[in-house]
Amino acid sequence: MSESHIQGAGLKIVADENIPALAQYFGDLGTLERYPGRTLTREQLVDADILLVRSVTRVNQSLLEGTSVRFVGSCTIGTDHLDTDWMERNGIYWSAAPGCNANSVVEYVFCALAALGVDWRGRSFGIVGCGNVGGLLQKRLHTLGASCAVYDPWLPENPDFSPLEHVLGQDIVCLHAPLVKGGRFPSLHMIGADQLAQIRDNAVLISAGRGAVVDNRVLLQQLRQGRRFKTVLDVWEGEPDINLELLQRVDLGTPHIAGYSLDGKLAGTRMIREALSSALDLAQPESASAPYDESAKTRIVAGTVGAQVDGGVEPVADLLLQMYDPRSDDYRLRAVVEGAEPMAKAFDRLRREYPERLEFSHYVGSAQNLDDHNREQLAVLGLMCD
């Protein structure tokens, strides 16, 4: 990161309209202008001091050159959409929010398994990419007593490190790698034909990192050929104009919302304000607080949904699906295919209009129909039961 040249307040802030709590976290600094992040233009930034984005905005020389922007904050975990080298060479301070939505993505993984009717207990997990998200998933799985194999070439010291082909041969394979297009360890199309061939029949593949880590064309070919592993895609090549046939063939398809819990999005906004405050030597605004009562809990009771796992009703899965059921997001995404709205426009609309989703810590489960082992498992996942 470069040294910041920003001084004082009375600033003009241009932001992606999908960033929550902008007024609470940045309203004290000056004026706020909100635009769709995917279509931000240089003309909208000419006299801006601060640019706040999410992952859909490519921030590079063509967007920033000739503007007065001196701070770019991405309220998301990744940086593949930011030309950080160019910004640093041109004296623009930048920051992302690594780890802000890691818990949300981990919760997505377990809810996706519940929605598929898959019991993770006694199954082996493979994790590709063990940064903030993959690392948190690994930690949870260890606490649950699950077997893990991890591939991350940047972290060879990980105690579960294994060759990629071994990781892909586990019962449940979770992809959380960032998109890296060059250098020593590129991840673009890291999962191609040879790698997909390593996935067992009846295994589960969950991709919730970056879409182009998996060669979507090759994945579609294999699903056409009758490969029998279950497939969950939250991220896609070509977003927002995703492949409609691939959507029809996966078991669960969602519009890049695994990390879209309200908690995760607010954490991203807060982290960027903290980074900006450090650059400007400013205190946090007093109004920057969560827009919900953290002491309030929603009560849920096992047995309400009747979740089926491996052929029987399972109380843990039942409670997970009451807190978040990814099948609702899958339904909304598939419904677009039947309508007149173009996929690219609908994909972004589903993200923009995403319903409020709170993480497990905002709920309390009833002890009814739960044994001590179930309660312990849910506590590891973040749900306390009385």
Numbered residues of the known binding site for substrate: 55, 76, 260
Active site residue 314: no
Catalytic residue among 107, 239, 314, 359: 239
Supply the DSSP string of 121-178, one letter for each residue: TT-EEEEE--SHHHHHHHHHHHHHT-EEEEE-TT-TT-TTB--HHHHTTSSEEEE---
Catalytic residue among 256, 270, 273, 362: 256
DSSP annotation of 339 reads S
| 214: nearest Cα among 237, 234, 245 | 237
Active site residue 228: no
How many C-beta atoms surround the C-beta of residue 86 within 10 A?
Answer: 15
| Calpha distance 86→317 (Å, rounded) | 47
Q: How far is CA 301 from CA 39, 42, 297, 363, in A?
A: 44, 51, 13, 10
The residue length of the chain stands at 386
| Calpha distance 137→167 (Å, rounded) | 15
What residue numbers does the annotated binding site for NAD(+) cover? 152, 234, 259
| Calpha distance 80→158 (Å, rounded) | 24
DSSP annotation of 59 reads B
Active site residue 107: no
Strands 124-128 and 147-151: parallel
Beta strands in the chain (DSSP E): 11-16, 30-35, 50-53, 71-74, 93-95, 124-128, 147-151, 172-175, 204-207, 230-233, 252-253, 298-300, 308-309, 312-313, 363-365, 384-385
Do the Cβ atoms of 68 and 50 come closer than 8 Å?
Answer: no
Catalytic residue among 140, 210, 357, 375: 210
List active site positions.
210, 239, 256
